[in-house]
A and B are shown apart, each in its own frame.
Chain A
């Protein structure tokens, strides 16, 4: 012991080996999930990237969708994502404010929380059925961009509620107590301290929903997304959200991959690549925002 280190007994060596085996075993399981992902996604991108060009993105599809570009699908997706987030973000944020700042600890709050969890678990096709029954038929909106957007809004609502609640809860309770002590009302506390200091977290949660909304097919295929519809109008509003149906990237991929005959074999890969690109871009933005958040922490 005067040399300052322990001699390695066979026991220690055996233990170290067991540790390494454990690490490899569990690491292997993680790798088994991650490596196929990277390979598969990489393959799709490699197959689809050559078809991507500015022209591809901005040209209307032709011949029922199997030729030409994806312009109308791109625009349709943008419309649906924008309208649905404009509806679900305010409702979701305010709902989370209620749950985190106003709700008391009683059975009613438990039921509301339960409703949020269950809303999150409803299958996407059931959301589509709901949209059909409620917006398309009962509310008389017909199959339109509006119906599809509202259906998607209800779908993303619980996720926005959950992520906003997390952002609000990250603001320490001691701040709120300090505000109450000087006679601020609940709303004053929220408006002046809680919301400004959680807005970045809230925005991150909302932005993440962009990629989710853009990728959903089942809810919109029943409520307002058509398999083929080129954009003819040249006015500012390329679609009329209340009357028109539209195309969407997700539906387009489904149609081309399963039902279209004589489509170029690279076309579905290209569409999938665009969708994956959207997902990567959105998630990268969210990660960047989170890192920025952490560096600018005010407390």
Chain B
């Protein structure tokens, strides 16, 4: 199998250095190929920046012509949204903003305690097989498409809400908020668990050594210590909820009005775009305004995600 050692030694005797030195020539083609692929890698590396700018640019481009006619105050704060009126079209998205904020807010009220509670449970009270299974199930929760959630809200939850709470309409803020909560919990559990895992074990050991109960350990030691990561988890959940389209489109109803109770139907910014764009003609005022709403959404989620990222970076620095 192997050549004998004697021949070997001869071939690589120190004297014949030049002839037997390791073949240092890499093929020219091979080196060119390496340059090419490294250039491609660098290009792909920048691609994320290009795409983010691209998204902003192309959405802005379609909506920009309307900016000249736009009164920013009226746009943002007026609740009169009558885009299809022939004579007096009005484009105030105030009610839509309230719709988005109210559904998101209610969803967070439900999701934050449950999400953080679940994160604490997975991190502190679970181990081994049970932990793996629970994490898998929560991951599956995250993988269900939003249109399926919307469908569930529309056909399954709506009758339940009507029956349980004695309200006339089942597609409303509450329905949408429940769905958003179920959709945001997985991300909060996963990031929250990371944040709790980052708390050094020495904290836990010290607390137990001082006689603290599990309860006190969680409330007084772990949650404060993981505060930053948990805050980031919440912000990311908020970002997800604000940007959600299909589930709220199908489950919150069609009423563009400021809600008076959590069982009133509302409309979010995202749902409005999805519902109305199909009926507009390219270049019309309505069309352009919808694109501007897209810019508004882009900005909001940009800020929220930026904040969450900065907080998470702060956590990782520790």
Q: Do chains A and B touch in the complex (CB under 8 A)?
A: yes
Contact B51 A119 (CB under 8 A): yes
**Nearest Cβ in chain B — how far from A220, in angstroms?**
11
Q: A116-133 toward B: CB 8 Å interface, digit per residue (1/0)?
A: 111111111111111011
Contacting pair B45 A126 (CB below 8 A):
no
Q: B207 at interface (Cβ–Cβ under 8 A)? A: no
Question: Is B277 positioned at the interface, with any CB of A under 8 Å from its CB?
Answer: yes
Partner among A18, A23, A121, A188 whose Cβ is within 8 Å of the Cβ of B302: A121
Q: Mark the stretch among A31-39, A53-61, A65-73 that contacts chain B.
A: A31-39
Which of chain A's residues 197-216 have a Cβ closer than 8 Å to chain B? 208, 211-212, 214-216
Could you give, for residues 19-50 of chain B, a 1 whenever the CB lies within 8 Å of some chain A CB and a 0 otherwise?
00000000000000010011011101111110
Chain A 15-36 interface mask (CB, 8 Å, partner B; 1/0): 1001101110111111011101
Contact of B114 among A29, A138, A272 (CB under 8 A): A29
Report yes or no: A29 in contact with B121, Cβ–Cβ below 8 A. Answer: yes
The CA-CA distance from A186 to B37 in the complex, in Å, is 11
- B residues near A94, Cβ cutoff 8 Å: 40-41, 44-45
Contacts of B144 in A (CB 8 A): 41, 215, 276, 279
Knowing A37-B141, A125-B274, A130-B55, say if A95 contacts B44 (CB, 8 Å): yes
Select which of B55, B61, B143, B309 is within 8 A of A122 by beta carbon.
B55
Q: Does A22 lie within 8 Å of B218, measured CB to CB?
A: yes
Q: Mark B166-182, 1 if CB is under 8 A from A, else 0.
A: 00000000000000001
- Find chain B residues with CB under 8 A from A33 CB: 114-115, 118, 138, 141, 182, 185
Decide if B297 is an interface residue (CB 8 Å cutoff). yes
- Please pick, from B41, B154, B182, B242, the residue contacting A258 in the complex, using a CB distance under 8 A: B154
- B120 → chain A, closest Cβ, in Å? 5
Listed residue (A26, A43, A283) with the most chain B CB atoms within 10 angstroms of its CB: A26
**Are A123 and B309 in touch, CB under 8 angstroms?**
no
Q: Chain A residues near B40: list those with CB within 8 A.
A: 94
* A237 lies within 8 A of chain B by Cβ: no
Given contacts A29-B121, A122-B243, contact A134 B48 (CB under 8 A): no
**Shortest beta-carbon distance from B233 to chain A in Å:** 14
A30 and B245 contacting across the interface, CB-CB below 8 Å: no
Query: Given A30-B117, A122-B301, A158-B48, A275 and B270 touching (CB < 8 A)?
Result: no
Which of B143, B155, B243 is the one whose CB lies under 8 Å from A121?
B243
Proximity string of chain B (143-155) to chain A, C-beta cutoff 8 Å, 1 when within and 0 when not: 1111110111011
In contact, B59 and A126 (Cβ under 8 angstroms): yes
Contact A102 B214 (CB under 8 A): no
Give the distance in Å from the alpha carbon of A198 to the alpha carbon of B278 in the complex: 43
Contact B250 A257 (CB under 8 A): yes
Q: In the complex, are the beta carbons of A122 and B298 less than 8 A apart?
A: yes
Q: How large is the interface on A (under 10, 10 to 19, 20 to 34, 35 or more residues)?
A: 35 or more
Question: Which residue from B41, B147, B156, B305 sits with its C-beta under 8 Å from A250?
Answer: B147
> Please, which residues of chain A bring their CB within 8 A of the CB of B155?
257, 268-269
Are A19 and B42 interface neighbours, CB within 8 A? no
Contact A29 B117 (CB under 8 A): yes
Q: Is A141 an interface residue, CB under 8 A from the partner?
A: no
The secondary-structure label for the interface of chain B is: helix
Chain A, range 158-196, C-beta contacts under 8 Å to B: 158, 161, 185-188
Known contacts A115-B49, A272-B148; is-contact A30 B134 (Cβ 8 Å): yes
If A27-B121, A257-B250 are given as contacts, then 12 extra A-B residue pairs at C-beta distance below 8 Å, sorted by A number, are A18-B215, A29-B121, A33-B138, A33-B185, A37-B141, A94-B40, A118-B302, A129-B273, A129-B291, A157-B51, A187-B37, A279-B145
The interface of chain B, by Cβ under 8 A from chain A, is 34, 37-38, 40-42, 44-49, 51-52, 54-55, 58-59, 61-62, 113-115, 117-118, 120-122, 124-125, 134, 136-141, 143-148, 150-152, 154-156, 182, 185, 213-215, 218, 236, 239-240, 242-246, 250, 270, 273-274, 277-278, 282, 290-291, 294, 297-298, 301-302, 304-306, 309
Which positions in A face B, CB cutoff 8 Å?
Answer: 15, 18-19, 21-23, 25-30, 32-34, 36-38, 40-41, 43-44, 90-91, 94-95, 97-99, 102-103, 111-112, 114-130, 132-134, 137-138, 154, 157-158, 161, 185-188, 208, 211-212, 214-218, 221-222, 250, 253-254, 257-258, 268-269, 272, 275-276, 279-280, 282-283, 287
